[in-house]
Amino acid sequence: MANVGFVGLGIMGAPMAGHLIDAGHTLYLYDVKPVPAELTGKGGVACASGTEVAKNADIIITMVPDTPHVAAALFGENGIAAGLSAGKIVVDMSSIAPVETKEFAKKINELGCDYLDAPVSGGEVGAKAASLTIMVGGPDGAFATVKPLFEKMGKNITLVGGNGDGQTTKVANQIIVALNILAVGEALLFASKAGADPAKVRQALMGGFANSRILEVHGERMINRTFNPGFRIELHQKDLNLALNGARQMQMALPSTALAQQLFSTCAANGGSAWDHSALVKALELMANHTVAPDA
């Protein structure tokens, strides 16, 4: 069993850390908010800082919202880097910028430690079910060491390449998810305004080539009007910003991604930054003067 540090215990990090405790690992925990009692109650050790976590753990995982949060967790006052010693492994499972990821990895390597970027897909549901997809960038040896921990948190685990490649894969994932949400939203809204029952349309489509996890999960949310967040619009906006900024740097166009971002911005302008990203359909509904289904 490993001594594992976990920094960032929000709606994703808390269940992920819980799975590692359940598997018998010793967890050293830190968050800017109080460590959840459910984790300390089953053996997790609350720490006063990231530095304390890093001093006690051999593998340190971060799961925080955005690039600046990772920078602060690693290199800020009382951060993880200050507690590292040679031979440890830092694993960032946040979804952040690939370019900065490579810079973070270089700084951690200079301390004699390995670095893996290992962002996830699957949202809160996947975190709770330990069914996350995990996209990893970094050295083979560190991946082999950490893979047994990944297997307690996810199902589809792939070493994509070197540092930064995991984050690049996650950005690609978020492009696909956003455009699928847009497609499902347009289709169900079209069907509903045409007079068809969107629930029955969805049921029929799920038996054919148009089926997808987005149609299954988020199509149901659109019909049932359940937009409490599994993955907040503001977080998906952050990910699409990474895509659009990267595309600009590479001098390429992502026109459909830009459209999805504008629709998310429409939701945000109407108070929806914290809605689930399936609520992108609400921007389409505003333009159609029609809802997929009546609001509860």
**Residue 102 vs residues 76, 107, 138, 167, 195: alpha-carbon distances, Å:** 18, 9, 10, 10, 51
Encoded amino acid at 151, one letter: E
CA–CA distance, 252 with 28 (Å, rounded to integer) = 43
For 112, phi and psi rounded to 5 degrees? 85, 20
Residue with tokens 């038996």: 207
Helix boundaries (H) for the chain: 13-22, 37-40, 50-56, 67-75, 98-110, 123-129, 140-153, 165-193, 198-205, 213, 219-224, 233-249, 255-269, 281-288
**Residue 191 vs residues 124, 186, 210, 235, 291: alpha-carbon distances, Å:** 29, 9, 14, 29, 11
Query: Any catalytic annotation for residue 170?
Result: yes
In 3-state terms, what secondary structure has residue 280?
helix
CA–CA distance, 161 with 170 (Å, rounded to integer) = 13
Catalytic residue, chosen from 55, 128, 170, 282, is 170
Q: Give the residue among 232, 219, 215 at the shortest CA–CA distance from 276.
A: 232
| Residue positions annotated with a catalytic role | 170
